[in-house]
Chain A
Amino acid sequence: MKKIKDYLPWIVYFVFFLGILVVNPGTHYIHLVARIIIFSLYAVAFNLLYGTTGLVSFGHALFYGIGAYITGMLVKATSPELFLLYIVLGAVGSAFVSFFIGLLTLRLTGIYFTMLTLAFAQLVWGLTFKLYHFTGGDDGIQAIAKPEILAGGVTKYYLFSFIVVTICIYILWRIRRSPFGTVLNSIRQNPQRVTFLGLNVYKNQLKAFVISAFFAGIAGGLYAGLDGSIHPDMLHWPTSGNAILMATIGGMGTFFGPVVGAGILTGLEEVVGKYTEYWSFYIGVVVLIVVLLFPNGVLGIRKFSSSKNNEEKETEVVCNSGN
Chain B
Amino acid sequence: MDINTFIAQFLSGLSTAMLLFLISSGLTLIFGVVNVLNFAHGSFYLLGTYFAYQLMQLFDNFWVGLLVGAVGAGIVGMVIEFLFLRRIYGRAQEGAFQLLMTFAFILILDDVVKFIWGTEYKTIPKPASLAGSLNIGTVTVPVYNIFIIIVGLLVVLFAWYVLTKTDTGKMVRASSLDRIMLGLLGTNVPMIMTVVFGVATAMGGLAGVLAAPLRTVTPGAGVEFIIDSMIVVVIGGFGNFWGALLGALIIGEVLAFGILWMPELATVLTFVVMIIVLIVKPEGLLAKKAVGRK
Contact = CB atoms under 8 A, between A and B. Distances in A.
Identify whether the interface residues of A are mostly helix, strand, loop, or mixed. helix
Interface stretch (B59-67, B171-179, B192-200, B272-280): B272-280
Given A114-B99, A119-B275, A130-B265, A320 B92 contact: yes
A120 B275 CA distance: 7
A107 interface: yes
Given A108-B293, A111-B292, A126 B267 contact: yes
Interface string A268-288: 000000000010110111011
Contacts of A140: none
Nearest to B94: A320
Identify whether the interface residues of B are mostly helix, strand, loop, or mixed. helix
A109 B294 CA distance: 7
B264 to A, nearest CB: 5
Contacts of B96: 50, 56, 244, 248, 252
A304 interface: no
B65 to A, nearest CB: 26
A119 B100 contact: no
Given A56-B99, A281-B111, A130 B294 contact: no
B271 interface: yes
Nearest to B91: A295
Nearest to B278: A116
Interface stretch (B6-14, B101-109, B147-155, B245-253): B101-109
A58 interface: yes
Interface stretch (B71-79, B121-129, B205-213, B227-235): B227-235
Given A122-B271, A123-B271, A130-B265, A112 B292 contact: yes
A109 B95 CA distance: 11
Contacts of A288: 84, 101, 104-105, 108
B268 A123 contact: yes
Interface string A299-323: 0000000000000010011001000
A127 interface: yes
B115 A278 contact: yes
Contact of B293 (A104, A107, A245, A290): A107
What is the interface residue range for chain B against chain A? 35 or more
Nearest to A127: B268
A114 B92 CA distance: 17
Interface residues of A, number: 48
Contact of B92 (A111, A284, A313): A313
A108 to B, nearest CB: 5
A269 B268 CA distance: 31
A199 to B, nearest CB: 14
B181 interface: no
A241 to B, nearest CB: 5
Contacts of B294: 106-109, 201-202
Contacts of B234: 112, 115, 119
A291 interface: yes
Contacts of B115: 278, 281
B101 to A, nearest CB: 5
B233 to A, nearest CB: 9
A111 B37 contact: yes
Contacts of A112: 234, 278, 282-283, 291-293
A110 interface: yes
Contacts of B231: 119
B238 interface: yes
A147 interface: no
Contacts of B106: 284
B289 interface: no
A182 B68 CA distance: 54
A126 to B, nearest CB: 4
B93 A54 contact: yes
Interface in A87-133: 104, 106-116, 118-120, 122-123, 126-127, 130
A73 B95 CA distance: 37
Contacts of A244: 96, 99-100, 103
A130 B234 CA distance: 25
Contacts of A106: 294
B235 to A, nearest CB: 10
Nearest to A130: B264
A23 interface: no
B97 interface: yes
Contact of A58 (B99, B238, B282, B291): B99
Interface in A55-78: 56, 58
A287 B92 contact: no
Interface of B: 37, 84, 87-88, 91-93, 95-97, 99-101, 103-108, 110-112, 114-115, 227, 230-231, 234, 238, 264-265, 267-268, 271-272, 274-275, 278-279, 282-283, 291-294
Interface of A: 50, 54, 56, 58, 104, 106-116, 118-120, 122-123, 126-127, 130, 201-202, 237, 241, 244-245, 248, 252, 278, 280-281, 283-285, 287-288, 290-292, 295, 313, 316-317, 320
13 contacts: A119-B231, A119-B271, A123-B272, A126-B267, A130-B265, A244-B100, A244-B103, A245-B100, A281-B111, A283-B104, A283-B107, A284-B107, A284-B108
The 8 A-B pairs with the shortest beta carbon distances in the complex, nearest first, are: A284-B107, A112-B292, A281-B111, A284-B108, A287-B104, A126-B268, A123-B271, A284-B104
